[in-house]
Amino acid sequence: MPTAPSDLRHALADLVATRGVVTLTGAGMSTDSGIPDYRGPDAVPRTQMTFQEFAASETARQRYWARSYVGFAKFRRADPNAGHVALAKLQTFGFVDAVITQNVDGLHEDAGSSPVIDLHGRISEVICLNCGTVSSREFLQSRFTAANPGFLEQYDGAAAPDADADIEDTDSFYTQPCLICGGVLKPNVVLFGENVAKPKVEHCRDLVEAATGLLVLGSSLHVQSGLRFVRWASRSGIPVAIVNRGATRGDEFADVRIESGCSETLAVLITDLQIPQVS
């Protein structure tokens, strides 16, 4: 089941065979789990809410949480796909050291990957902007359900990578405060307009600069938070392989560039490295 010309396929296998590779994954990694991406061929354009909007306006928070309440109900039913499982297998057999993911869905951990660095946080957690308490998103969902009976059943829209659902009727939705201090609750993810915490960035940079190679899977590298790792690897003379459907902002830095989906490419890689097949 070749997914690329044989020279690229073998070049990817040779890079990963060095062991000690670090991977950077994006939304394209989770499309086979039914979670649409932002910029792939089938993506529907969306305007993401910024942190500044969220923090400044109760109306904006009402809109965000109403859409996210509906989206998360569908989002949380997603299971790891064959690509997630294959990547976890590569870690188990020592070919991949760490997974850095731009995704917030937690599917790498569900598939058995470890360690995983959630660059943009986890949608399964909620944080209070006032007291900093981190709590369960599942619990917040139950509070939303109690405060908004029948709201969820009205909609059947698909959830975006951040669990946003495409609904417009949000004026009647009741948000919920922090139970500890009454403060504003925010998903424990990096919203547009926020920065990834500096210690996390530095940790990821150390991982990349110590790696034998950087493998980018399913990311357009459109945002700087991912692209910088490719630039760091290139500057350090670390080979870069990129697997993605569609052009990426990091293509000029790629030593190996494969235009394909993650699941099928990783399945072939498992075969080429003679790893026992993923069930």
What is the predicted pLDDT for the residue at 169?
81
> What residue segments make up the domains of the chain, in order of their start?
6-272
What is the predicted pLDDT for the residue at 233?
97
Identify whether 120 is a catalytic site residue. Answer: yes
Q: Is 181 annotated as a binding residue?
A: yes
Q: Is 262 annotated as a binding residue?
A: no
CB 86 within 8 A of CB 267: yes
Q: What does the block give as tokens for 13?
A: 């296998």
Overall average pLDDT of the 240-255 stretch: 97
CB 121 within 8 A of CB 190: yes
CA atoms 73, 68, 261, 26: torsion sign: negative
What is the predicted pLDDT for the residue at 1?
37
Which uninterrupted H or E stretch holds 213? strand 213-217
Look at residue 279 and tell me whether its pLDDT is greater than 60. Answer: no
Per the residue annotation, which of 10, 84, 108, 120 is the catalytic one?
120
pLDDT in tens, 44-93: 556 789 999 999 999 999 999 999 999 898 788 899 999 999 999 999 99
Question: What angle, rounded to 10 degrees, do the helices at 137-147 and 58-75 form?
Answer: 110
Look at residue 178 and tell me whether its pLDDT is greater than 50. Answer: yes
Q: Is 131 annotated as a binding residue?
A: yes
Q: What is the mean pLDDT of the chain?
A: 91
The fold of the 6-272 domain, in CATH, is Rossmann fold (3.40.50)
Q: Is 204 annotated as a binding residue?
A: no
What residues contact residue 264 under an 8 Å CB cut-off, 6+ apart?
1, 3
pLDDT in tens, 128-168: 999 999 999 999 999 999 999 999 888 865 566 677 887 87
CB 137 within 8 A of CB 144: no
Look at residue 110 and tell me whether its pLDDT is greater than 50. Answer: yes
Which of the four pLDDT bands, split at 50, 70 and 90, describes residue 278? very low
Q: Tell me the Ramachandran region of residue 94: left when phi exceeds 0, alpha when psi lies from -120 to 50, beta otherwise.
A: left
CB count in 10 Å sphere of residue 73: 18
Q: Give alpha helix (H) positions in the chain.
A: 6-17, 51-56, 58-75, 82-92, 107-111, 137-147, 198-209, 224-235, 262-272
Q: Give alpha helix (H) positions in 76-122.
A: 82-92, 107-111
Q: With 0-12 CB in 10 A as exposed, 13-18 as middle and 19+ as buried, what is 158?
A: middle
134 forms beta bridges with 127
136 forms beta bridges with 125
Overall average pLDDT of the 215-241 stretch: 95
